[in-house]
Amino acid sequence: MRHPLETRLPLLGLFLAAALAALGLALTLGSVSIPPPELWRLLWHDDGGIHARILHELRLPRALSAFFIGALLGLAGALMQVLLRNPLADPYVLGVSGGAATAVLAAMLVGSAPVWHAPAAFGGALVSILLLFALAHRDRWNAVRLLLTGVVLAAGWSALIGFLLSLAPGRRLPGMLFWLMGDLSDVLDPWLPGSILLAGLLLALAMAPALNLAARGALRAQSLGVEMGSLRIRIYLLASLLTAVAVSLAGAIGFVGLVAPHMVRLMVGADHRLLLPATALAGGTLLSLADTAARTLVAPMELPVGVLTALLGVPLFLYLLNRRRGAGS
């Protein structure tokens, strides 16, 4: 008898290969295209030329940041989906990103330093996820009630965001708006999202066996030895932290947390020991590709990357919602 994960573990290599390919593409394409052989050489030997500078000072930090932020969002989505036992959960759809964004905009408005953006986002995300939980947990996590609550919360946050924007001085408005729609052009330091991602992934993996049980329902998980109270709190905090870091750096990018876990589940199944790392890779790949497209589709202009992820995510969301209703009746 073989372990069920044994046959699926190699799929992780496939996700890794896709991630590397997406990163390669992000480094190659742009206003100046750098052909792969040169790219490979310049990656290891900075010859000080213009291509090397573009690569090391612009594309590499941005590509890595996009990848890490996508991975954070994918992971946050996967965690929220277990917490709410619903594959439709996503930090953006359920208003968690909105809460984080509102807090960041408020911080921007009072002129606080950028260092405070991430803590503010964490606070906003946490408030939002707790509100969601408090309002929607009756009725045994009925999917419709949950989504309605999340969507209404998101609408509330966006009203607050509109209010904050209307208070903002005119010269800062375009920047704030672009950030809000999801913008990776200012993120030049991949270390923060990278290190949070690594820490978050390790923490999540430590919970993975318990998450597998939690996905079957709180009572079942408890009767099989999972302390659900503390597990829930850990998932809350971790999902809020991951969302907050992503939002504070890149704005409210939607649907990566929905699309990535869904794709991964279809391929590797629902065991979180494999699902979580694969989702991080898939989320990174997805946002990396979306960002490359956002940079190049209408060059020299840039599209907000959040617009692209939404164009991909909304049809999938509607499909999932429709299929669930079919299965539920």
Interacting residue with other proteins among 51, 53, 85, 145 (CB under 8 A): 85
Backbone angles phi, psi at 189, to 5 degrees: -120, 100
The distance of closest approach from Cβ of residue 43 to other proteins in the complex, given in angstroms and rounded to an integer, is 36
Interacting residue with other proteins among 265, 307, 314, 316 (CB under 8 A): 265
How far is the C-alpha of 4 from the C-alpha of 307, rounded, in Å? 38
The distance of closest approach from Cβ of residue 264 to other proteins in the complex, given in angstroms and rounded to an integer, is 11
How far is the C-alpha of 5 from the C-alpha of 17, rounded, in Å? 19
- Residue 26 lies near other proteins (rule: CB under 8 A): no
> Which one of the spans 148-156, 204-212, 237-245, 247-255 is the region binding other proteins (CB under 8 A)?
204-212
Asked if residue 317 lies in contact with residue 93, where contact means CB atoms within 8 angstroms, the answer is yes
Closer CB to other proteins, residue 239 or residue 290? 239
**Bond from prior residue into 87 cis (ω within 30 degrees of 0):** no
Size of the residue set binding other proteins (CB under 8 A): 33
Closer CB to other proteins, residue 24 or residue 269? 269
Closer CB to other proteins, residue 100 or residue 143? 143
Residue that is written with structure tokens 């998450």 in the block: 211
How far is the C-alpha of 247 from the C-alpha of 16, rounded, in Å? 24
How far is the C-alpha of 217 from the C-alpha of 88, rounded, in Å? 16
- Residue 326 lies near other proteins (rule: CB under 8 A): no
Interacting residue with other proteins among 213, 249, 258, 287 (CB under 8 A): 213
Q: Is 8 helix (H, G, I), strand (E, B) or coil?
A: coil
- Residue 225 lies near other proteins (rule: CB under 8 A): yes
- Residue 216 lies near other proteins (rule: CB under 8 A): yes
Task: Show the 3-state SS of 39-108.
Answer: HHHHHHCCCCCHHHHHHHHHHHHHHHHHHHHHHHHHHHHHHHHHHCCCCCCCCCCCCHHHHHHHHHHHHH
> Which one of the spans 9-17, 69-77, 192-200, 212-220 is the region binding other proteins (CB under 8 A)?
212-220
Binding site for other proteins (CB under 8 A): 1-4, 81, 85-87, 141, 208-210, 212-213, 215-217, 219-220, 222-227, 265-266, 269-271, 273, 327-328
